Amino acid sequence: MIDSLAWDPEMESPATIAILGAGPLGVEAALYARFLGYHVSIFETRRVAHRMLDWNLRPLEEPAGKITTSLGLSALQAQDPTYIPPEPSRIFNGKQYAEEYLLPLAKTDLLFDDIHFLSPVIDISRFRVASQPAAGRFDEYPWQERCNDEFRILVEGRHRGTWVSRADCIIDCRGNRSTRVGLGPAGGLAIGELEARKEFLEHLPGDRKFDAKKYDAKSILIAGSTQEACRTLRECLEYAGHERLVWVLPPVQSDEPEFLAKARMELAQRASPSFVMIDSLGVESITPQEQGSWQVRLLKEDDSSVELQVDRIVSRTEYQETPLGPTLLAYNPQASNFLESSLQQYDLSDHSQDKHLPRARDVLTPEPGYFRLRADSLWEIGLERLRTIFAILGGRSDLDLYEIMRKQQSTGPQDA
Ligand SMILES: Cc1cc2nc3c(=O)[nH]c(=O)nc-3n(C[C@H](O)[C@H](O)[C@H](O)COP(=O)(O)OP(=O)(O)OC[C@H]3O[C@@H](n4cnc5c(N)ncnc54)[C@H](O)[C@@H]3O)c2cc1C
């Protein structure tokens, strides 16, 4: 499949695949790779499925049948013959999904030895090929040589110290919840924000690590207009432990997303002396005060400003992807254009029926052998992209282990 790339993306097992992040997608990608006979190393900054554990008692949007896979269930059954799979219609909460599916999977013999937790990857480069393609001469660049070169992965292990790992291929499953944009106008930083960030209150009512002592009877400012901000506000109002809650959100815009317009109207009806909504272009400055409180200046649309004194600041702005490895081509805009033009050539060939092609655009990066895997909030999309990555690596557009496993499960292994 996809034969128009400047390098051959196929990778025969036993090659080594490094997986960045042990969230639901990282665990699933590792499993898929192991079933295909690849060597796998999984690196996780914190612990397996910690975001799902943080999602805590909130129900997940998709039922068990959509967020568990035939591969995962058969690995769990192979490990423990008494394991009973969940009903496909069951709605897990984040904690149950982590504790009943993801963590047991991580503990199976298939994955256990390959997971490095408390081990953030801090840099990735190539070992030998240091050159970058010259502008306008992408066709002449030694892409295949670059592809054959191993990746050098720098890991900052909490237990082992800083060490280097090697891999032939990377699947980046770091999720999209790494760095938030700033609290200032249009996502810029407010004056004093970087220094203040380490003191921001992260865990609110409903979160696994919520600490009532840091929240109850306090004056709390929540800034942001994301879905997460709206959900957080509803949960805080329900919990009602605060003295005063201030929601800082942008002025109404004509292209405002529906969820925000709805939350704005619904929450405005709950306004009271203890819950205030302030339209603002963003936070202009944050200044620490005595006894741990903060002086916050908000910029209004007419260039005037509003000063507030609060005990806690909460950021619920958008997340932005953090690039990893400045020498990699994964985030190079010119190399991305080159990749796109290669894919367009493939489009025009006889293979336009290839179902993986649209998804290949989502997972391929211009760094040969570096794939990006995100679910974009729909689990099914994540799994489709995962199949595409391994179809590309295996050079078989019909490769679908989930389907093979489902058939085996319905006919019994002896008939497959
Ligand atoms: C506040 C909050 C809101 C949520 N909102 C939703 C929602 O709206 N809808 C929904 O379905 N689910 C939600 N969830 C649940 C859940 O976070 C995601 O759906 C799910 O975790 C995404 O899976 P993932 O594997 O793509 O990414 P993640 O679970 O985010 O996994 C990525 C992993 O990569 C690790 N990582 C990052 N950088 C590095 C690095 N440099 N080196 C090594 N490891 C790294 C991270 O520690 C993390 O464990 C939410 C969770 C929380 C805590």
Specify whether 162 is located in the same domain as 203: no
Q: Does 26 sit in the ligand 1 pocket, CB within 6 Å?
A: yes
Report the C-alpha gap between 101 and 61 in whole angstroms.
16
- Residue 382, φ and ψ in degrees, nearest 5: -60, -45
Confidence band for 411, pLDDT divided at 50, 70 and 90: confident
Residue 242 lies in a domain: yes
Percent of the chain with pLDDT over 90: 85
Domain that holds residue 97: 16-176+321-415
Residues 169 and 41 in one domain: yes
pLDDT digits (tens, 9 = 90+) for 310-339: 999 999 999 998 889 999 999 999 999 999
Within this chain, do residues 187 and 333 fall inside the same structural domain, yes or no? no
DSSP code of 59? B
* pLDDT, tens only, 183-204: 999 999 999 999 999 999 999 9
Asked if 158 and 191 sit in the same domain, the reply is: no
- The pLDDT value given to residue 118: 97
Q: Is the CB of 24 under 6 A from ligand 1?
A: yes
**Assigned domain for 68 exists:** yes
Q: Can you give the length of the chain in residues?
A: 416
Could you identify the atom of ligand 1 that is nearest to the CA of residue 174?
A: 34
What percentage of the chain reaches a pLDDT higher than 70? 97
Beta bridge partners of 276: 246
Domain identity same for 64 and 172 = yes
| Strand positions, DSSP E, 168-311 | 169-172, 179-180, 219-223, 244-249, 275-279, 282-288, 294-299, 305-310
> Are 38 and 172 part of one and the same domain?
yes
If you measure from the C-alpha of residue 177 to the centroid of ligand 1, how many angstroms do you get, rounded to a whole number?
6
Residues 312, 325 share a domain: no
CA distance 329 to 335: 7
Would you say the CB of residue 325 lies under 6 angstroms from ligand 1?
Answer: no
Confirm or reject: Cβ of 206 under 6 Å from ligand 1: no
Evaluate if residue 16 carries a pLDDT over 80.
yes
pLDDT band (50, 70, 90) for residue 353: low
Query: What is the rounded distance in angstroms from the CA atom of residue 294 to the CA atom of residue 201?
Result: 12
- Find the mean pLDDT for residues 356-365: 88
Tell whether the model's pLDDT for residue 413 goes beyond 60. no
Is residue 355 predicted with pLDDT exceeding 90? no
> Residue 269 and residue 30: Cα distance in Å, rounded?
47
Which atom of ligand 1 is least distant from the CA of 24? 25
394 Cβ contact partners less than 8 Å away, ≥ 6 residues apart: 10, 36
Structure tokens at 296: 């916050």
What mean pLDDT value characterizes the chain? 93
Indicate whether 4 belongs to any domain.
Answer: no
217 with 191, same domain: the answer is yes
Residue 416 has pLDDT above 50, yes or no: no
Distance 175 CA to ligand 1 centre (A): 5
Please name the residues in contact with 170: beta carbons below 8 A apart, sequence gap of 6 or more: 17, 18, 19, 20, 124, 151, 153, 369, 370, 371
In this structure, the answer to whether residues 162 and 215 fall within a common structural domain is no
Query: How distant, in Å, are the alpha carbons of 19, 151, 329, 334 from that of 132?
Result: 24, 15, 8, 11
| Domain shared by 205 and 226, yes or no | yes
Using a cut of 0.75, tell me whether the model's pTM lies above it.
yes
Confidence grade of residue 94 (pLDDT, cut at 50, 70, 90): very high
Which among 318, 352, 369 is the end of a domain? Answer: 318
Q: Is 20 in the pocket of ligand 1 (CB under 6 A)?
A: yes
φ, ψ (nearest 5 deg) of residue 115 = -95, 125
Let me know if residue 152 belongs to a domain: yes
Q: Does a structural domain hold residue 166?
A: yes
Mean pLDDT of 21-38: 97
Domain closes at, from 284, 318, 352: 318
Domain count, the chain: 2
> Is residue 7 a part of any domain in this protein?
no
pLDDT at 414 over 70: no
C-alpha distance across the termini of the chain, in Å: 26
Q: Cβ distance 404 to 413 under 8 Å?
A: no
Same domain? 158 vs 232 = no
Q: Is the CB of 208 under 6 A from ligand 1?
A: no
Indicate the top mutation candidate among 20, 27, 51 to test ligand 1's pocket, ranked by most ligand atoms within 8 A of CB.
Answer: 51
Q: What band does 348 get if pLDDT is binned at 50, 70 and 90?
A: low
**Which of 318, 336, 351 is the C-terminal boundary of a domain?**
318
273 in a structural domain: yes
**pLDDT tens-digit profile of 111-166?**
999 999 999 999 999 999 989 999 889 999 999 999 999 999 999 999 889 999 99
Task: Tell which wins on pLDDT, 1 or 164.
Answer: 164
How many A from CA of 293 to the centre of ligand 1?
30
Q: Is residue 10 part of a domain?
A: no
**Is residue 41 located within the same domain as residue 164?**
yes
Neighbouring residues of 289: CB distance < 8 A, sequence distance ≥ 6: 295, 309
Which residues, 6+ apart, have CB-to-CB distance to 132 below 8 Å?
Answer: 327, 329, 332
How many degrees, rounded to 5, is the angle at CA 200 between CA 197 and CA 203?
A: 135
- Residues 218-245 have a mean pLDDT of 97
CATH number for the domain spanning 190: value is 3.50.50.60
